[in-house]
A and B are shown apart, each in its own frame.
Chain A
Amino acid sequence: MTPRIVKSWIQGIHLATVCFGIILVALLPQLGLSLYGQTQMLLVAIYVLVTSGINLSFGYAGEMNLGQVAVFAGGAYITAILHVHGVNDLAIAMPASMVAAAFLGFLTGIPGVRLTGFALAMTSFFLVLLIGPLTNIFDSETGGAVGLPGLLNWKFAAINIDTQTFYVVAIAVTVAWFAAFRNLIRSRLGLSLQVLQCSSHLARSLGLSVFRLKVTAYVLGGLPAGIAGSLYAVTTGYIGPAAFPFSLAIAFLAASVIGGSKSIYGPLLGSAILVLGPLQVASFAKYSLLIYGLFLAVIATLFSGGLIAFFTRIADRISLTRYLRLTPETEGRSSPTDEVIDIPGEELIVTGVHKAFGGLVALSGVNLSAAPGQVTAIMGANGAGKTTLLNVISGLVSPDRGEVTIGGRRITGQRAHVVAQAGVGRTFQSPLIPSGLSVAEVVATGRLRHRAVSLLEIIFRAPSFHRARRQDNSHARVALKFAGMSDLATRRADSLPLGPRRLLEVVRSLASEPNVLLLDEPASGLDDAGLAELAQMVRRARNSGATIVLVEHNVAFLLSIADTVHVMHLGSVIASGSPEEIRENDDVVAIYLGRRQVPNPAARAAVTPSERARRRGESDA
């Protein structure tokens, strides 16, 4: 029996179990579940919906958003107000609530674009305080503090529905969203959000628009809260501002944290515990706040992944699951096994770039070029402007003057993610590796700049989604093989030691097939073995046609690997040439060793004639 067959069997059993579970839950009323029990199950569904939205924005995108209750309330009020106006068809009310929720999610996302951390948490928390005043101001529609009672007699698609039918509709809607949620997380979007959580610079350098990504996360996170609000209005038959207190925000957050904020199935567990646990029993209800709080404090302190992570670890011990996990998803499918990768290097030309930070001139008229199939190294003391130059090229810093082109296309002044999409890949001085991802996934994030797949294609797992995923996986695998790191593919990337982490950054960039690859001090902190591996990888990437710009302090390493060397000093290039020429250059020696020496003709020869002409022209100007 091949592993593939076993795997597909396991997946089949898995799917069958899940389907059976869903049908069982949907049929519970027929199996004699009491009305009270049905309401409890509906509450679980409502919590699952809201919590999955929290997981999207908090767990995966990393921004704590306490405004979910306001979105929830918005969804509930829209459905209720429509009912008051005689529209009692859920097939209309629910989509309307979703639209409202998406809009509210967008509104809560606006502060999120500028704010992070506690400021965002508090600003979104503020929205909960606005529910009461807003319902008062629009009391002709919302019923003010009294609320809207008597939300009975609902239809779905023009058919009258009773409690049991509504129960089935609610479960179906929840399952549908949950499937969409799972598909969204297990996709490029999920990867992108985790990249964003790691660092917005990293996200930009991988070609992701931080603004779009954040707004997407908030709008998507709002949608289920809107659905939940709609279901809530029908379930209780009454809504008023008192139904949406601060403590509800805490309860939702607790459900997310208890189950595991950065997990797909955590919301199921957290919601079930919160709703079906003993806290709803009247004699325990007065302890509920105390216990929510304890849950939050204890679980966030001790079990950072929530209970689902705890159970997953146990499940991993069971051999079949482990077997499933260790088999990469596309193993055995047709894939290029050739280790040689083709990197479409293009010429990078930097002309007359100036950049000053206040009074500090970081770059004063830098000219250099880097050719495909060559390693172009930049050396210079700290403060020479090397990293600023890389930041200008990659769009993180915009220059005061000057021009940067790749392959003749002007990229000066473009925002960083646009530059990355145009083909500039880079690594960072201290490796930026998102936590919780496997090595293969980290490498796959290098592919994010290529051919976006739309959210609908992701949710419905369209053929284009599978095509893109296959491509991403095969590129990631090839890049890992190319780097000789295939054996690490399933390891957790953030647990790697520094050396492999640095190499991983390079591999991630290579997987993106960059037209220009910028390496910012990739050798720092590497031991001899690591240096050798890095050197080999850089050489092979060069031989595959890459345009590599290398900034490095390790001079021996740099000279051993570079085809052309530019030496920077105080913001400009003072010498350019082959490693041999640079080694002999007296200016360079003087800067590095502090010798005072009159430049001799040999030193001048190391500077290319055109370079010298440009420098002269500038000193004249």
Chain B
Amino acid sequence: MLIAIWAGLATGAIYALVAVTNNITLSQLGVFNFAQTQFLVAGAYLAYQGIEVWGLPWYGVAIGSGVCLASAGWAQERFTIRPLGGLVAGHSATLVTTVGVATVVQGALVLKWGTTPLTVPFFGGDGSFDFLGGRLQPVDVFLFGLTACLCACLYAASSRTRWGLSGRAVTTDEDAARLRGVNVEWLSSSSFMLAGFLGGVLGPFIAAKTGVAVELSGSLLIYGFVALAIGGFGSYIGAAVGGLAVGLIQSLVTRYFELDWFPITLFGILLLVLIVRPTGVFGARATRSL
């Protein structure tokens, strides 16, 4: 039981990271970027290329792919979000273009690396150790730390900095924010770039935990989304807690029933949350307007 709980939390950390990075554009701009999860998967592939193929140190690879994917985020915003004119006005078009960019990234990954799953060893070793009744690997410890750290930093940035408050203004009323001097273009660019950058930096860690496979993106995207829904769209803490919760549900359902029941259970929970409490457990902002 304890083993299952710790294993679930460790997997949940991955979902938490997906949810937290997805939350950046969502809380800053009100845009759900379907491509963000692909950026995380792309980060894992870049980690494979850098560490396994080229033999570079992991931190160099992390920063290098961070810069690469930040540029990808910039380009996505510049060419497929901004021309739609107004973040709110182009809402359903935004959905379509982010799905499009996600598909482009996935297509590119398949072209370059094929569909055979790849592995990247963790720089901290792969031995496991006992911890409070569970068995963890070094990578799990790093993932917990990264989740907590990212969540705390982004939470502080969103509630304490001018950048975060501007985001709040923009999601409330873009035109009013513009008139009050918020540089919406910069805010939009920087949010996409930050999210992309984190996708690259997290690559070596995610690759070590989940392996590198393009098939992962679908389930990561969906479980990350469920994490956001449980925690409340727009809340970083909610995203992290929601991610851990999804991991826990996965581990427990798999332990006591079968793996196949997990997505079905999770779908039920998602519907329940969205219908009973659409703002999630920590949700500050409503998902629908009256």
Contacts and interface: CB of A to CB of B under 8 A. Distances in A.
B218 A64 contact: no
A290 B108 CA distance: 6
Max chain A Cβ within 10 angstroms of own Cβ: one of B32, B95, B258, B267: B95
Q: Which of the four size classes fits the interface of chain B?
A: 35 or more
A119 B230 CA distance: 12
A551 to B, nearest CB: 20
Nearest to A121: B95
Interface string B46-71: 00000000000000000000000000
Contact of A250 (B32, B103, B259, B278): B103
B42 to A, nearest CB: 13
B95 A117 contact: yes
A40 to B, nearest CB: 22
Contact of B261 (A111, A125, A133, A301): A133
B91 interface: yes
Interface string A152-167: 0000000000000000
B179 to A, nearest CB: 17
A126 interface: yes
Interface in B239-290: 258-264, 267, 270-271, 274-275, 278, 287-288
Contacts of B263: 126, 129-130, 133
Nearest to A251: B103
Contacts of A250: 99, 103
A287 interface: yes
A323 to B, nearest CB: 33
A116 interface: yes
Nearest to A114: B275
Interface string B8-38: 0000000000000000000000001000000
Contacts of A257: 96
B101 interface: yes
A293 B101 contact: yes
Secondary structure at the A interface, as helix, strand, loop or mixed, is: helix
A288 B103 CA distance: 10
Interface in B54-97: 79-80, 83-84, 91-93, 95-97
B144 interface: no
A301 B97 contact: yes
A575 interface: no
Contact of A289 (B107, B219, B261, B287): B107
Contact of A115 (B222, B226, B267, B288): B288
B110 interface: yes
A127 B32 CA distance: 19
B6 interface: no
Most interface-central of B229, B233, B258, B260 (chain A CB within 10 A) = B260
Contact of B264 (A110, A114, A133): A133
A290 B100 CA distance: 9
Given A116-B288, A137-B260, A129 B103 contact: no
Contacts of B105: 293
Contacts of B91: 117
A304 interface: yes
Contacts of B264: 130, 133-134, 137
Contacts of A294: 100, 104
Contacts of A125: 221-222
B80 A123 contact: no
Given A133-B263, A291-B107, A293-B100, A64 B95 contact: yes
> From DSSP, what is the main secondary structure of chain B's interface residues?
helix
Given A114-B278, A114-B288, A130-B264, A296 B107 contact: no
A290 B107 contact: yes
A502 to B, nearest CB: 20
B270 A289 contact: no
Contacts of B219: 129
A11 to B, nearest CB: 34
A62 B103 contact: no
Nearest to A134: B264
B102 interface: yes
A253 interface: yes
Contacts of A64: 92, 95-96
B132 interface: no
Contacts of A290: 103-104, 107-108, 111
B217 to A, nearest CB: 8
A114 B108 CA distance: 36
A125 B105 CA distance: 18
A566 B229 CA distance: 47
B225 interface: yes
Interface string A290-306: 11111111101110100
A490 interface: no
Contacts of B190: none
Contact of B106 (A110, A128, A293): A293
A296 B93 CA distance: 10
Contact of A301 (B79, B102, B229, B270): B79
Interface string A101-121: 000000000110011111101
Nearest to B266: A126
A250 B80 CA distance: 17
A292 B107 contact: yes
Contacts of B104: 289-290, 293-294, 297
A196 to B, nearest CB: 13
A115 B229 CA distance: 12
Interface string A277-293: 00000000011111111
A288 B222 contact: no
Contact of B267 (A126, A132, A295, A302): A126
B202 to A, nearest CB: 21
A433 to B, nearest CB: 15
A38 interface: no
Nearest 9 A-B pairs (CB), nearest first? A296-B100, A293-B103, A290-B107, A289-B107, A297-B100, A293-B104, A118-B32, A133-B260, A300-B96
27 contacts: A117-B92, A119-B274, A121-B32, A121-B95, A123-B270, A126-B270, A128-B218, A129-B218, A129-B219, A129-B222, A129-B263, A134-B260, A137-B258, A250-B99, A250-B103, A257-B96, A286-B110, A288-B107, A289-B103, A289-B110, A292-B107, A294-B100, A296-B96, A296-B97, A300-B80, A300-B97, A301-B84
Given A114-B275, A119-B274, 18 more contacts: A62-B92, A64-B95, A114-B274, A114-B288, A123-B270, A130-B263, A246-B218, A287-B111, A289-B107, A290-B103, A290-B108, A293-B102, A293-B105, A296-B99, A296-B100, A297-B97, A300-B97, A301-B80
